[in-house]
């Protein structure tokens, strides 16, 4: 699919994997809307790549609609990348046997609300807008790529909320792809492994932590680069025969229990 001159929305696009993806989409000629809560970073990146920034909380439907309308003003909407998400780690049962020490249910619901429900809300609204976009060859109107995680398959101790949310994203990929085939919109999911993003912090302690993390990566024995993830995301967008698939990009790692 040729995305030159088309518009694209990247949620969570102000940093990390989302920012790397936004840059690569722009390099392919797309007009990118950075949909994020981080205004300073988002506006700076939008200026850098000739796109636009829209402040978006993916748990708020109105925010998502605002980003979609902004994208439609920039060009035919053909791309949505769902990269917004948060993490949370807590054991299911506490050490003292009290109900109060059990996993925080509100925290669990928040992770699901952002990572899973927010992703679906973005899909249903952006796909609705894409359904009115003029089709390309073979009736193709657009492509959606979700960012999941290897935690969807290899969730570690304490990752019940995060793994649930990302497992849900993987689980809805095929049925939504089947659904959106009727309007010529493809849906794929990319499941990153350990990617070197600002989430791990900076400094000597951060570097030592990352060195420990990468010991389980088969090859190359390092954390992944944001550009490597972005490359796969953009391939899922531009390769018109990629549909209904979840792809791990993880250097061959299989996460241990902890």
Q: State residue 199's pLDDT score.
A: 67
Higher-pLDDT residue of 36 and 203 is 36
**1 is a domain residue:** no
**88 is a domain residue:** yes
- Domain count across the chain: 1
Residue range 138-195, pLDDT digits in tens: 999 999 999 999 999 999 999 999 999 999 999 999 999 999 999 999 999 999 999 9
Phi-psi map region of 158: left, alpha, beta (phi>0 left; psi -120 to 50 alpha): left
Q: Comparing C-alpha atoms, which of 68, 91, 48, 64 is closest to residue 8? A: 68
Tokens of 54: 């829209």
Q: Is the dihedral of CA 7, 70, 168, 95 positive or negative?
A: positive
Q: In this structure, what CATH number is given to the domain that contains residue 66?
A: 3.40.50.720
**46 is a domain residue:** yes
Q: Are 223 and 194 in contact (CB under 8 A)?
A: yes
**94 is a domain residue:** yes
How many beta carbons lie within 10 A of that of residue 97, not counting itself?
A: 8
Provide the annotated active-site residues.
162
The residue range of the domain holding 177 is 7-249
**255 is a domain residue:** no
Q: Comparing C-alpha atoms, which of 100, 97, 120, 116 is closest to residue 108? A: 116
pTM: 0.96
**254 is a domain residue:** no
**167 is a domain residue:** yes
**233 is a domain residue:** yes
Residue range 64-108, pLDDT digits in tens: 999 999 999 999 999 999 999 999 999 999 999 999 999 999 999
């Amino acid at each position: 699919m040729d995305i030159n001159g088309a518009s694209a929305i990247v949620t969570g696009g102000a940093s990390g994997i989302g920012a790397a993806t936004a840059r690569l989409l722009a390099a392919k000629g797309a007009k990118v809307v950075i949909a994020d809560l981080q205004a300073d970073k988002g506006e700076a990146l939008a200026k850098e790549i000739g796109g636009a920034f829209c402040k978006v909380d993916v748990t708020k439907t109105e925010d998502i609609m605002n980003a979609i309308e902004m994208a439609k003003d920039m060009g035919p909407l053909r791309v949505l990348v769902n990269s917004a998400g948060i993490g949370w780690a807590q054991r299911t049962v506490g050490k003292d046997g009290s109900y109060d020490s059990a996993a925080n249910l509100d925290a669990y619901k928040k992770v699901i609300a952002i990572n899973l429900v927010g992703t679906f809300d973005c899909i249903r609204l952006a796909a609705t807008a894409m359904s009115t976009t003029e089709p390309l060859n073979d009736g193709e109107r657009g492509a959606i790529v979700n960012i999941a995680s290897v935690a969807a398959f290899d969730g570690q101790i304490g990752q019940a909320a995060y793994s649930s949310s990302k497992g849900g994203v993987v689980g809805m990929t095929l049925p939504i792809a089947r659904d959106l085939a009727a309007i010529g919109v493809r849906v794929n999911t990319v499941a990153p492994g350990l990617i070197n993003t600002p989430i791990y912090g900076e400094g000597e302690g951060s570097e030592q932590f990352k060195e420990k993390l990468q010991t389980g990566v088969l090859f190359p024995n390092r954390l992944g680069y944001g550009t490597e993830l972005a490359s796969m995301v953009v391939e899922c967008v531009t390769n018109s025969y990629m549909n209904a698939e979840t792809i791990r990009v993880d250097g061959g790692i299989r996460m241990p229990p902890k």
